[in-house]
Chain A
Amino acid sequence: MTASNEYRFQVNLSGMIQILSNHLYSSPKVFLRELMQNATDAITARTEAEPGYQGEVRVELTGTGEQLTMMVEDNGIGLTEADIHEFLAMIGQSSKRGQQALLDGETSFIGRFGIGLLSCFMVSHEIVMLTQSAKGGPSMEWRGKPDGTYTIRQLDTQLSPGTKVYLRCTPDAAHYFEPDYVKEALFYYGALLPYPVTLYHDGAQHVVNSETPIWLMDPALARSRRAEVLAFGERLLGEQFQDFIPLTTASGRTGGIAFVLPHAVNLNAKRSHRVYLKRMLISEKAENILPEWAFFVKCLIWTDELQPTASREHFYENEKLEEVRSELGDALRKGLADMAESQTERLQKLIRLHALSMKALAVQDQAFYAMIHRWLPFESTRGHRELGELIDEGETLYFTSSVDEYRQIHHVASAQSMLVINGGYIYDSELMATLPMTVHNVHTERLQPDQVSMSFTDVPPAERNQYYDALRLADSALQRFRCRAEVKGFKPSDLPVLFTLSQESSTLRALEKASEESTELFSSVLGSLSSSMSSAGYSTLYLNVSNPIIQRVLTSPDDQMTPIAIEMLYVNALMMGHYAMSKQELEVLNQGIIRFINWGLRANTDRKGDA
């Protein structure tokens, strides 16, 4: 066996830079964020060495056209020549340290110098950096080009400690160098920074983050500064909010403000929380920092305990993040709980706007449901009401599991004065089903359409006997539709029949319909399934004895007329209930109409003949 030789990958540096700058970052505009991060890291490092040190960042725009240049300067720790080699050349090297820093480990720095700087190649063909380390040594100049080559030289003059980066903009990127844009972007990224960020342009200077709110470090203070917090939220997030909930974690290393969105949101909408890491904006669309259900808020979060991904636009999904996420979720939940306790009007307002979100959360979380249930809105036979009002009626709360079922029975049910809730809307039937487990002394019951019949008046046996022949004719006419007829009295009396079907017969209808359309093989598979359920799969057509037409059909059965009339009432009931009809049922409908027209015409001619 020969000794193993070590080889090194030949990396094409300009290709790497291309990839990093064009694919790692979401947009060229992040170069400014990267520079600010480098500056923040440099200042952090210097503050660690010299407690109480006051950092600052200066940004200067000079020149016009092809000479338009941006300079970003910090008074942080600065770099020695050795640092430059280590950090800036990291991509080209495969030094252990470089890999380590690139891939993992919690460091006290947001950016990783070299890499962040590469993003500048998206807006500039050359990066010039002048730096002086606070540890001493000569001042250094570094010039880098997008092809991966760079030069380093010692300067003759001695600069004060810190780093300046000069970028000359490419024609494509000119808009990123406009003073107004830069001012906005600096605020956007650096609004929470604990030291001044100043923009110099045209002889004027402007501190972009002059007013750092005091509630930043202690979100609980935000409660007493409502107007200020709302104004800050509007400036930073661009929306006019009316309410917010302060957030903190147990460690106090993550905090924030959850602004309640002033409009309803789609449950699948992208969450876009804005997150500051060590008070420097890291992400404007952090999706994974709050629990899934927190879609009714837009948050400002600041943290110093999470690990950003390589693009520094998201966080690594690790246990720490999971912990932070669940603590932030708890804080949000607690905010809502407090409202439920002492500011019900505020909560009511919030629920009215975000009912769907609240319901989604309530489905997942019983304790939360118990807390807010009174204010959740439902549609019922007593109108659109809040659940609390419905519960106060003290009756059994019946609910359907679909809009369809509700539509079938709500007229009948309200005529019987049953309290029925339409459970067909999103989450409603689940909430109804779990309500008794959540709230004491409330009884809910899933109402199958065929159960409405419970409240029908029974027809006395003697009278029923009278309808015997008619019912037999009806049953045999309906048998091929797996339906049976029953005679009952119910309100409203102008409703001749009511068609109801259980969940099972509903599945059967769907099975049969699919079977009609499918391939032979699948039809026979569906057949095996339906044969196991057919006994329970009968639907019911209730004939209303209080209805005059039905009375006539029932009292004078006619071997020819009655079956056809019943069939027609059946398909009519299907149409009224908006059921999709099978081929067989459609045929009944078509033939029936033609038959009745025919009979009508014949009766007419016969009468004329009589005259």
Chain B
Amino acid sequence: MKTEMDFEELMDEAYGLPNGPAKLGMLEEAARVADVNGMEEEAYEARSEIVETATFCGYPMKALIAFSWQLGKFDQQPEEYDEETLMWSYKWILGKMPDFPEISREKILELLEDFGRRFKSYGYSERSYWYYRFRIFMDFGELEEAGRSYDRFRTMDRDFMSDCEACEQDEIMRYFLLKGDDEKVLEVAQPILKGRMSCAEIPHLTLSEILMPLYRLGRTAEADKHQTKGYRLIKGQNDFVQSFAEQMDYLTRTNPAKGIDVLEETLVFAADHEDPYAKMLFYARAASLLRRWVEESPEYRLRLPASFPYEGDPGDLLKLADYFAEHAQTAAAKFDQRNGNHHVSSLIE
């Protein structure tokens, strides 16, 4: 039985895998081997990969832990490591911080300043700082402050450390979504929907985000097309738990049977997700969907993944809905407490 592989073997194997928990497991094993054997550079390398993989497959906490370690090492010996890659990772980490309600508003703003200071010291454009400030204030539900940052970042030059245009556009779209301006949301989404802007995650995210605005505007035929295409793009990937939630939100209203398919296919990803915010949205939408589905098919027994920690009867959809709703409300309350407003709970009402 082969239970011990050396660092190189593990890394090779990890590089050969698509992003996902399997790859992450390999990388963590590699980092552990490096740690146990006192191989510092290798440990740093493995953690770089962990940060990237974990960020994009639903493990932001693992990403944060690995990044914290890296940043400490980097500050001790900045000449040993490449600052560009690390600073690029910093953006991912910063972007995920508000998703953890345990991290205070004050700490997040301190991180933002630390980030801004580091970017400035390397001579990068200030656009990244203002753009992330924009995002963070949106997460806090402080739209006026977000708006001010939006005005600032738009006028600044992009550089090689800026997020790609497609990602920025998607965040701008989110801003108008939060402001409740559905018409504007669709206007901003146009370059993405027309395929003029795209990247590894866009239009994947966008196609789910515009479903509710389209629904509210009564344009369901269009929405249905985007739903089908959007779901195909994100199916089976645990990075898109929030998008699954958005899909369910829409399908609850238009096609709950299809919504149930989405729920059954994606619950396994949500249950194992480390991002409390995405998980909260998913659970909230799952609750509404189940309540809607009871009306259509009261006898239905929901298929739950083996690892799902629910002890009750999966055939009692209302109880199950309560279970989901309670989880979501508890999480929302934590966010509200941190943010000092009712922004997050208003999103799941």
Stretch at the interface among A117-125, A141-149, A158-166, A428-436: A428-436
Q: Mark A344-382, 1 if CB is under 8 A from B, else 0.
A: 000000000000000010011000000000000001000
Asked, given contacts A406-B3, A521-B111, A524-B107, whether A446 binds B71 with beta carbons under 8 Å apart, the answer is no
A517 in the interface (beta carbon within 8 A): yes
Residue ID in chain A nearest B43 by CB atoms: A580
A100 in the interface (beta carbon within 8 A): no
B199 in the interface (beta carbon within 8 A): no
Query: Does A532 lie within 8 Å of B102, measured CB to CB?
Result: yes
B191 in the interface (beta carbon within 8 A): no
Q: Which of B1, B36, B61, B66 contacts A578 (CB 8 A)?
A: B36
Query: Does B68 lie within 8 Å of A522, measured CB to CB?
Result: yes
Stretch at the interface among B147-155, B160-168, B169-177, B302-310: B302-310
B144 in the interface (beta carbon within 8 A): no
Query: Does B22 lie within 8 Å of A427, measured CB to CB?
Result: yes
Residue ID in chain B nearest A317 by CB atoms: B195
A404 in the interface (beta carbon within 8 A): yes
Query: Does A404 lie within 8 Å of B71, measured CB to CB?
Result: no
Q: How far is the CA of A417 from the CA of B53 in the complex (A)?
A: 37
Number of interface residues of B (CB under 8 A): 45
- Could you tell me which residues of chain B, from 243 to 288, have a CB within 8 Å of some CB in chain A? 268
Asked, given contacts A430-B21, A525-B111, whether A518 binds B68 with beta carbons under 8 Å apart, the answer is yes
Q: Which of A266, A268, A531 contacts B102 (CB 8 A)?
A: A531
Task: Note all chain A residues with C-beta closer than 8 A to B21.
Answer: 429-430
Stretch at the interface among B11-19, B79-87, B212-220: B11-19
Q: Which of A522, A528, A531 has the most CB of B within 10 A?
A: A522
A407 in the interface (beta carbon within 8 A): yes
Task: Note all chain A residues with C-beta closer than 8 A to B111.
Answer: 521, 525
Asked, given contacts A403-B29, A578-B32, whether A519 binds B72 with beta carbons under 8 Å apart, the answer is yes
Main secondary structure of the interface of B (DSSP, over half): helix
Query: Does B1 lie within 8 Å of A514, measured CB to CB?
Result: no
Query: Does A434 lie within 8 Å of B102, measured CB to CB?
Result: no
Residue ID in chain B nearest A523 by CB atoms: B68
B9 in the interface (beta carbon within 8 A): no
Q: How far is the CA of A517 from the CA of B76 in the complex (A)?
A: 9
Task: Note all chain A residues with C-beta closer than 8 A to B18.
Answer: 267-268, 360
Residue ID in chain B nearest A430 by CB atoms: B21
CB distance from B26 to the nearest CB of A (A): 8
Residue ID in chain B nearest A503 by CB atoms: B272
Q: How far is the CA of A182 from the CA of B40 in the complex (A)?
A: 54
A20 in the interface (beta carbon within 8 A): no
A594 in the interface (beta carbon within 8 A): no
Q: How far is the CA of A433 from the CA of B61 in the complex (A)?
A: 22
B25 in the interface (beta carbon within 8 A): yes
Task: Note all chain A residues with C-beta closer than 8 A to B104.
Answer: 528
Asked, given contacts A403-B29, A433-B307, A529-B102, whether A518 binds B71 with beta carbons under 8 Å apart, the answer is yes
CB distance from B64 to the nearest CB of A (A): 7
Q: How far is the CA of A222 from the CA of B110 in the complex (A)?
A: 67
Q: How far is the CA of A403 from the CA of B5 in the complex (A)?
A: 11
Task: Note all chain A residues with C-beta closer than 8 A to B307.
Answer: 433, 446
Stretch at the interface among A210-218, A329-337, A505-513: A505-513
Q: Mark B21-45, 1 if CB is under 8 A from A, else 0.
A: 1110110010011011000000000
Query: Does A521 lie within 8 Å of B29, measured CB to CB?
Result: no
Task: Note all chain A residues with C-beta closer than 8 A to B72.
Answer: 514, 517-519, 522
A18 in the interface (beta carbon within 8 A): no
Task: Note all chain B residues with C-beta closer than 8 A to A267.
Answer: 16-18
Query: Does B68 lie within 8 Å of A268, measured CB to CB?
Result: no
CB distance from B120 to the nearest CB of A (A): 16
CB distance from A228 to the nearest CB of B (A): 35
Q: How far is the CA of A58 from the CA of B100 in the complex (A)?
A: 70
Q: Mark A378-418, 1 if CB is under 8 A from B, else 0.
A: 01000000000000000000000111101100000000000
Query: Does B69 lie within 8 Å of A433, measured CB to CB?
Result: no
Q: Mark B67-104, 1 if CB is under 8 A from A, else 0.
A: 11101110100000000000000000000010010111
Task: Note all chain A residues with C-beta closer than 8 A to B32.
Answer: 404, 578-580
Query: Does B22 lie within 8 Å of A434, measured CB to CB?
Result: no
Query: Does A513 lie within 8 Å of B3, measured CB to CB?
Result: no
Query: Does B22 lie within 8 Å of A521, measured CB to CB?
Result: no
Task: Note all chain B residues with C-beta closer than 8 A to A406.
Answer: 3
Q: Which of B71, B97, B305 contacts A437 (CB 8 A)?
A: B305
Q: How far is the CA of A515 from the CA of B72 in the complex (A)?
A: 9
Residue ID in chain A nearest B309 by CB atoms: A446
B296 in the interface (beta carbon within 8 A): no
Query: Does B306 lie within 8 Å of A515, measured CB to CB?
Result: no
Task: Note all chain A residues with C-beta closer than 8 A to B75.
Answer: 519
Q: Which of B22, B61, B73 contacts A529 (CB 8 A)?
A: B61
CB distance from B123 to the nearest CB of A (A): 21
Query: Does A446 lie within 8 Å of B306, measured CB to CB?
Result: yes
Task: Note all chain B residues with C-beta closer than 8 A to A518.
Answer: 68-69, 71-72
Q: Which of B3, B35, B61, B305 contacts A580 (CB 8 A)?
A: B35
Nearest first, the 3 A-B pairs at minimum CB distance are A580-B35, A518-B72, A517-B72
Seen from chain A, the residues whose Cβ lies within 8 Å of a Cβ on chain B are 266-268, 360, 363-364, 379, 401-404, 406-407, 424-427, 429-430, 432-437, 444-446, 507, 510-511, 513-515, 517-519, 521-526, 528-529, 531-532, 578-580
